[in-house]
């Protein structure tokens, strides 16, 4: 609400209003006032004969860690009895991350985080209280500036393409990948029941409270952040080259007196399928932000673009994001605010995960199979009893595209009808849509063929509205402080899902009007 004013050496004190006004009857002959508030350096001033004091307080970034976001408010860390962990802005800024949930890796005690996939835009699996279930979702609840994020951090239903587009699995998609990590000020992880009780059953797996940056009064400040990096696999499976494979195959076939290879010593290295499938993948990000304002109006605006190529050929992730945070002190008793974020992502996914993925096939395909045959087509994998698709053809011939749009934010008002009493009213929203497309062409590679092409389209739309109202009364008496809250919350969530699959299309040209119209008409 304001700053704490204490007459030094006594229990005599008061609290200022939002404009810094206060009155205090002094009890000592040479009074010294101690002024303090969270996040600012403490000031001591000798009053003397003055009846009006004009003071200025300066931020103390070291003291900002004293504040922890809990439920619908903030508390001093020393006053919290529940278990919580804070990840600050410095920890986020000092690391190269593309997804917000990656910022929790190795930075929060008692929180387990595991990359579920190396694909760009994929999620990190977060466990705040350990693995409490085998099949059900154990991800924590994510809340951004008081608004719940729809779709868990590892949601395969809301944002994935799933089995609706075929039997082969695809990489898990994270809804948090739509959020720009550079916009984040801090993250609080609430771990135990006392800290998460206000969220009810939704917080059973823990709660991650995300606070975004806000403007500060002063001249406009522009900040540019640029990042460029290269990704690669930390390690690869040690596999036999062609000569070693030939010698091994001949040893296996000794019982039949029928060597597979006439003279292995004449052979070269053959095809290294891991080298063919994996690559050194560049990624870069550009962000421009502006902040500033007056005591009456403060703003923070940012825009960013990120492009990340996957370490598997043919995969990529692009993100465009925009954020606006506004605070307006219209009256000394009335404050209005706006938080808004819009993002758009475009992805090309790959069949990378599980036993039906390209990584598995690259390890199972022998080195004597070339990538291309003599006619320049993809070679097929032929062995006794089976034929298999070329791993490179699996990646480059099949298109799995995903586009997403997300709008998240809130509009709020703070009204202070009485000193130390604040009524907070907030309307929050989280609106998202996604469109996934997958196309498998009809092809023939040597003895391997797919006779029928197949195309699938999936559309997801979700809307979440949240209305909160609560009264907060706080104050100090002697050496004690207290806060009381009375609140109400209601929310509504809707989800729409559409999926259509067609096969034996007239052409392998996915963009042909005949093919596209056959599927799009089903959505009308």
Torsion 59-60-61-64 (CA) sign:
negative
Q: How far apart are CA 298 and CA 223, in angstroms?
A: 16
Backbone angles phi and psi of 107, in degrees to 5: -120, 0
Is 147 in contact with 309 (CB distance < 8 Å)?
no
Is 272 in contact with 196 (CB distance < 8 Å)?
no
Check residue 225 and report its DSSP letter: E
Please compute Rg for the chain using Cα positions: 30
Contacts of 199 (CB under 8 A, 6+ apart): 71, 141, 143, 207
The bridge status of strand 32-36 relative to strand 67-70 is: unpaired
Question: What stretches of 354-419 show up as alpha helix (H) in DSSP?
Answer: 358-364, 391-397
pLDDT of 480 reads 76
Q: Which residues pair with 440 in a beta bridge?
A: 454
Q: How far apart are CA 324 and CA 300, in angstroms?
A: 6
Q: How far apart are CA 138 and CA 136, in angstroms?
A: 6
pLDDT of 94 reads 67
The bridge status of strand 4-7 relative to strand 32-36 is: antiparallel
pLDDT of 7 reads 86
Given a cut of 70, the residues of the chain with pLDDT beneath it are 1-2, 18, 38-39, 59-83, 94, 116, 123, 130-137, 151-175, 194-195, 256, 351-356, 384-386, 446, 510-524
Q: How far apart are CA 456 and CA 399, in angstroms?
A: 10
Q: Identify the three-state secondary structure at position 348.
A: strand
The bridge status of strand 297-309 relative to strand 281-293 is: antiparallel
Check residue 522 and report its DSSP letter: G
Written as six digits, the tokens of 164 are 């609706």
CA angle 381, 383, 384 (to 5 degrees): 155
pLDDT of 77 reads 54
Q: Which residue has the tokens 């009857």?
A: 25
Q: Which residue has the tokens 């595209």?
A: 401
pLDDT of 207 reads 85
Q: Which residue has the tokens 């949601």?
A: 155
């Amino acid at each position: 609400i304001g700053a704490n004013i204490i007459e030094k050496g006594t229990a005599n004190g008061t609290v200022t209003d939002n404009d810094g006004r206060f009155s205090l009857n002094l009890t000592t002959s040479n009074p010294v006032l101690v002024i303090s508030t969270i996040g600012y350096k403490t000031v001591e001033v000798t009053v003397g004969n003055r009846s009006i004091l004009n003071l200025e307080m300066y931020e103390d970034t070291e003291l900002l860690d004293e504040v922890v976001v809990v439920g619908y408010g903030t508390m001093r860390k020393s006053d919290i009895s529940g278990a919580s962990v804070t990840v600050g802005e410095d920890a986020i800024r000092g690391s190269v991350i593309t997804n917000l949930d990656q910022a929790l890796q190795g930075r929060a005690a008692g929180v387990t985080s595991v990359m579920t996939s190396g694909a760009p835009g994929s999620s990190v699996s977060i466990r705040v209280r350990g693995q409490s279930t085998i099949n059900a979702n154990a991800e924590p609840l994510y809340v951004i500036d008081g608004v719940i994020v729809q779709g868990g951090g590892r949601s395969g239903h809301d944002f994935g393409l799933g089995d609706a587009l075929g039997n082969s699995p695809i990489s898990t998609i994270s809804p948090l990948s739509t959020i720009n990590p550079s916009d984040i000020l801090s993250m609080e992880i609430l771990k135990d029941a006392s800290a998460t009780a206000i969220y009810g059953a939704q917080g059973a797996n823990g709660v991650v409270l995300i606070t975004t940056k806000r403007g500060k009064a002063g001249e406009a400040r522009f900040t540019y952040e640029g990042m460029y990096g290269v990704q690669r696999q930390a390690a690869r499976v040690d596999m036999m080259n062609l000569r070693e494979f030939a010698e091994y195959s001949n040893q296996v076939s000794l019982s039949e007196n029928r060597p597979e290879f006439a003279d292995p010593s004449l052979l070269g290295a053959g095809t290294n399928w891991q080298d063919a499938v994996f690559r050194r993948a560049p990624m870069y990000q550009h962000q421009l932000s502006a902040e500033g304002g007056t005591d009456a109006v403060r703003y923070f605006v940012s825009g960013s673009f990120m492009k990340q190529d996957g370490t598997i050929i043919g995969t990529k992730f692009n993100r465009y994001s925009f954020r606006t945070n506004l605070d307006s002190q219209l009256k000394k008793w009335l404050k209005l605010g706006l938080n808004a974020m819009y993002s758009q992502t475009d992805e090309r996914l790959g069949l990378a995960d599980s036993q039906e993925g390209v990584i598995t096939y690259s390890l199972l395909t022998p080195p004597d199979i070339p990538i291309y045959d003599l006619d320049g087509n993809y070679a097929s994998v032929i062995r006794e009893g089976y034929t298999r698709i070329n791993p490179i053809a699996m990646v480059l011939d099949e298109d799995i595209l995903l586009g997403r749009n997300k709008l998240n934010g809130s509009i709020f008002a703070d009204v202070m009808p009485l000193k130390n009493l604040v009524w907070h009213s907030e309307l929050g929203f989280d609106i998202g849509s996604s469109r996934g497309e997958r196309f498998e062409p009809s092809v023939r590679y040597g003895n391997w063929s797919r006779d029928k092409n197949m195309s699938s389209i999936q559309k997801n739309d979700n809307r979440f509205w949240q209305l909160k109202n609560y009264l907060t009364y706080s104050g100090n008496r002697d050496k004690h402080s207290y806060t009381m809250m009375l609140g109400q919350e209601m929310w509504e969530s809707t989800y729409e899902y559409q999926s259509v699959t067609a096969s034996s299309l007239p052409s392998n040209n996915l963009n042909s009007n005949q093919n596209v119209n056959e599927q799009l008409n089903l959505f009308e």
